A = this chain, B = another copy of it.
Amino acid sequence: MESLWEKEIKKTPHVINWLREFNQQIWDKLVNCLTWMRPSGKLHLGHYVWALQNWLELQNNKNIKNYFLIADYQVLGDHLWETEKLRKSVIDMVIDWMAVGLDPNKSNFVVQSYVPEFAELFNYLTMFVPYNVATNNPTLKDEIKKIEKRWEWQNSWISLWFINYPVSQVADILLPKWEIVPVWEDQIPHIELARKIIKKVNAMYGTNYPLPKALISEVPRLVWIDWNDKMSKSLWNTISISASFEEIKTQVNKMYTDPNKTSVQSKWNIKNHVVFKYLDIFYKDKKYLEDLKKRYIEWWENSIWDWYLKKLLVEVLNEIISPIRERRKYYEEHIDEVVEAIEKGSANLRSEAIVMLKDLREVMGLLDYGKEFKKYVRFNK
């Protein structure tokens, strides 16, 4: 009989929209799920809204086996001269994961470079991919353009690793036979590449590796506090998810309110009002919020001033952030728990990875040249 999961696989296209709905379903099998993050140091509210909230839901779904991948290869190339930055970023990020409630006893935190089988599988997969297909990946092309632009004032270069990275990502997906991969829309080409390569492997060797499905998350758009969409490395235009009360206040006070207001008589415009954007996402009393917006626009009666909104937002954010901040403090003082978490998660995956690669090499006939040759000799006698 067809299982619920098999029905789902047939029904949905290779992209599943709305992580939340997906999470609310109960599957009749344990579904492998991969999510990854480039180690970027301390996390900010953007990470919280875009990823961590969804990850927490994934973690609480008992039908999903979660691996949260610390994609250090993807960052290492830019920091070869200063790997201490990478080390710090990895641990800072994992502390924040644990501070928001991700639990190494429920999910596996995996450091990519702790599992060398990723590199071995990647090496094999490059043989299945035509060079022109690898370089025609639209996301890769976009990223190359961005890098070239960003570094044009420097001695710019794209590494050979970078050209390989979409295939490296396919290895990330195939190694633990991941079935659903929550991604951004711009990463769908990578999932398509993964499906192509895995189909090819299945067709050649009669294997039955699952074709991964992209899971598009439903995430609200969070703008930066200066209405700038450029990522800031130094957090100066973001709010850290472990910010102190003073830091929250400083950052909220920096927020754009209405850059389009030209005269006292003109109506206040909330379209680009950063404080309201944040309240939309983080403030739970939506009814009161609508009321506030109305009063803000019609400012001459019951007027609501920016200082009031900012004060409200500071309180709202502090309520979300303060327990995270507390837990972060705890883990900073108990680094051993953090280290144990990444070591355990990586070891868990590695034990599966070794079996997977052995199986693959066996069906490819690479496991034991001699054994196979002896069969051949017997057959031809």
A96 to B117, CA, bound (A): 32
A332 to B377, CA, bound (A): 9
Which residues of A from 29 to 45 have beta carbons under 8 Å from B? none
Q: Within 8 Å of chain B (Cβ to Cβ): is A244?
A: no
Q: Within 8 Å of chain B (Cβ to Cβ): is A3?
A: no
A81 to B343, CA, bound (A): 38
Across the A-B interface, the 9 shortest Cβ-Cβ residue pairs: A339-B370, A119-B123, A77-B127, A83-B365, A126-B161, A91-B373, A130-B157, A126-B160, A119-B120
How many chain copies does the complex carry?
2
Closest Cβ neighbor of A368 among chain B residues: B339
Closest Cβ neighbor of A92 among chain B residues: B373
- Chain B residue contacts of A132, Cβ below 8 A: 157-158
Q: Is the CB–CB distance between B159 and A131 below 8 Å?
A: yes
Q: Is the CB–CB distance between B158 and A123 below 8 Å?
A: no
Q: Which residues of A contact B (CB under 8 A)?
A: 72-73, 76-77, 80-81, 83-84, 86-88, 90-91, 111, 113, 116-120, 122-124, 126-134, 157-164, 167-168, 204, 332, 335-336, 338-339, 342-343, 357, 361, 364-366, 368-374, 376-377
Most buried by B among A118, A339, A342, A343: A339
- Chain B residue contacts of A368, Cβ below 8 A: 339
A80 to B377, CA, bound (A): 21
Most buried by B among A117, A160, A162, A371: A160
Q: Is the CB–CB distance between A369 and B80 below 8 Å?
A: no
Q: A76-B124, A80-B364 are in contact. List 4 more A-B contacts (CB 8 A).
A: A76-B366, A86-B365, A119-B120, A127-B160
- Chain B residue contacts of A123, Cβ below 8 A: 73, 118-119, 122-123, 161, 168
Q: A73-B123, A204-B81 are in contact. Are A91 and B130 (CB under 8 A)?
A: no
Closest Cβ neighbor of A162 among chain B residues: B131
- Chain B residue contacts of A134, Cβ below 8 A: 160
A377 to B84, CA, bound (A): 12
Most buried by B among A116, A128, A132, A168: A116
- Point out the residue from B127, B162, B365, B377 that lies within 8 Å of A161, measured CB to CB: B127
